[in-house]
Chains A and B, each alone.
Chain A
Amino acid sequence: MVVRFLKQMSAGERPLIYLNNAATSWPKPPGVMEAIAQSLSLPVFGSGRTTGTQGEDYITRARESLSALLGADTPENLVFTHNATDSLNILISGFLAGIKGECHVLTTALDHNSVLRPLYEYDQQHRICLDIIPFEGCSIRPEAAEAAIRPDTRLMVMTHGSNVLGSVQDIRAIGNILHEHGIYFIVDGAQTAGHIPVGLRDLPVDAFIFTGHKGLLGVPGTGGFFLRDPEAIAPVRFGGTGTDSFSLLHPRRMPERFEIGTHNYPGLAALAAGVEFIRETGMGSIMEKAERQTAFLIRELKEESNITIYNEHPDLPIIAFNIGGLQNDDVGFMLARGFNIIARTGLHCAPLVHRAIDGGEGCVRLSLSWNTTDEECRIAADAIRRIARNADSTVGQA
């Protein structure tokens, strides 16, 4: 037998069924692809950076569309960054830059490494004292958040929706408690923006993070945050903005306070188109379809007694499971290679969730999008059930 050459994963003969939308959504609406092509068909139009006036102002368009979708009244307080992790780093570092000495910070066991790692780094440096609030069921109880507050607690950073369990957290109740104690509240909406209504107008949240390439249907390399009071966060990056160029100090007005260098124009064109697609489709329709398809998949998987589903009632189209007797990684391989179904396996960058639910072994995650079809759900359910039915009796026998 001869190894002919190394090969990348290809789609193969069967149609590709993509159920990894909580990582990056795919496929994108046609309008998103067209917007990228359109944005590159003319020179970049960037105010203050060209004498040209041709082309669309994609940045303003994306800022205004997304502000409207998230229910934010002040589009200039919506800042674009590279992604959610980038946003979290800017916000956490910028908040702590304004704090003298060590302070107490809270986060949760549901959170992603994009939250945990920056906070653990600051904890190691004795800039903060970090406490992790455990989850019960699939949620953080507001009472647990309240009980964790200390006199020196200054900041809480937490996820809006778990990327493993698909549970949406009660950030209104938690935010109200935190604000009663004067604690700054940063919410990571990477998994919720584009999937559920957010309503920033009256949410007790100080900063809300989004990413462009998941539920908002844009492309990787776009993200950002909404900031209620820009003065609460010190800028930690400085450079060219195309404005106030004579000043050697970085402008402090929004959004230049946090946006440095040339924007990702094709990415923001895609983001604007993705958001416009969501607004045209309607959040109600998106949620109804997601709920129906998620419920179908869970109902099907529950038919097999050796499948463990970690949240049978997720708020988001995310299904986390394991099959008894099989490693999650092997199930992912079988789905991909045997059925051309793309899921995600392992720890999903949320180690504390897995420590609690599966002993840190990880699980298989299916995540749907608006573009997932009922037929794809049926095929995926059949494939998983077939693997489960064949699991216990045969493993270990060659």
Chain B
Amino acid sequence: MKEFLLDSPVTDGFFAYLRNFGKVESLPGVGEGFYKFEKPDWFSIKGFSRDTTVEVRFKKEVMDLTVDFVYLIFSTYRGEGEEIDLSVLKRREEAIGERVRKRLYGA
């Protein structure tokens, strides 16, 4: 598990953006709003809206393959309303996914 301190608070929009890569659950009524993003076999991200800290838990067997993708999705996000070109990220996700599957399931 790693905790990441970001240069600006996470927002509802950020977690909506994460839905492009996995499943997001939320409890808006808890604190400022609890969010959890899960990308099975890769990692999960938990945090509260308006908090600058998020917790990232990696599947340790493939962490060496997936950790850079966490940085990539954070650095690609430009804020609410900003257009994001997902094509590069999606290609990268696919390439890493292939290696993750091979490592975990041999296929």
Q: Are A5's CB and B5's CB within 8 A?
A: yes
A374-398 CB contacts (< 8 Å) to partner B: 386-387, 389-391, 394-398
Collect the chain B residues with CB atoms within 8 Å of residue A338's CB.
30-32, 34, 48
Is there a chain B Cβ closer than 8 Å to A334's Cβ?
yes
Q: Count of B residues near A, CB < 8 Å?
A: 36
The contact size tier of chain A is 20 to 34
B19-45 CB contacts (< 8 Å) to partner A: 19, 24-32, 34-36
Interface residues of A, dominant DSSP: mixed
Shortest C-beta distance, A229 to chain B (Å), equals: 46
The answer to whether residues A390 and B7 also contact, given A333-B55, A337-B48 and a CB cut-off of 8 A, is: no
Q: Are A6's CB and B4's CB within 8 A?
A: yes
Shortest C-beta distance, A395 to chain B (Å), equals: 5
Q: Are B25's CB and A398's CB within 8 A?
A: yes
- Per-residue A-contact encoding for B57-79, CB less than 8 Å = 1, 0 else: 00000000000000100110111
Instruction: From B4, B46, B47, give the contact of A7 (CB < 8 A).
Output: B4
The answer to whether residues A3 and B29 also contact, given A330-B46, A333-B46 and a CB cut-off of 8 A, is: no
- Per-residue B-contact encoding for A245-265, CB less than 8 Å = 1, 0 else: 000000000000000000000
Q: How far is the CA of A334 from the CA of B32 in the complex (A)?
A: 11
Closest to A327 in B: B36
Is there a chain A Cβ closer than 8 Å to B86's Cβ?
no
Q: How far is the CA of A139 from the CA of B14 in the complex (A)?
A: 48
Is there a chain A Cβ closer than 8 Å to B91's Cβ?
no
Instruction: From A337, A339, A386, A396, give the contact of B47 (CB < 8 A).
Output: A337
The answer to whether residues A7 and B3 also contact, given A330-B36, A337-B51 and a CB cut-off of 8 A, is: yes
Collect the chain B residues with CB atoms within 8 Å of residue A394's CB.
26-29
**Interface residues, chain B, CB within 8 Å of chain A?**
2-8, 10, 14-16, 19, 24-32, 34-36, 46-48, 51, 53, 55, 71, 74-75, 77-79
**Interface residues, chain A, CB within 8 Å of chain B?**
1-9, 330, 333-334, 337-339, 386-387, 389-391, 394-398
Supply 11 A–B pairs (Cβ within 8 Å), ascending by A: A1-B10, A1-B14, A1-B74, A3-B75, A9-B3, A330-B46, A334-B27, A338-B32, A338-B34, A391-B27, A398-B35
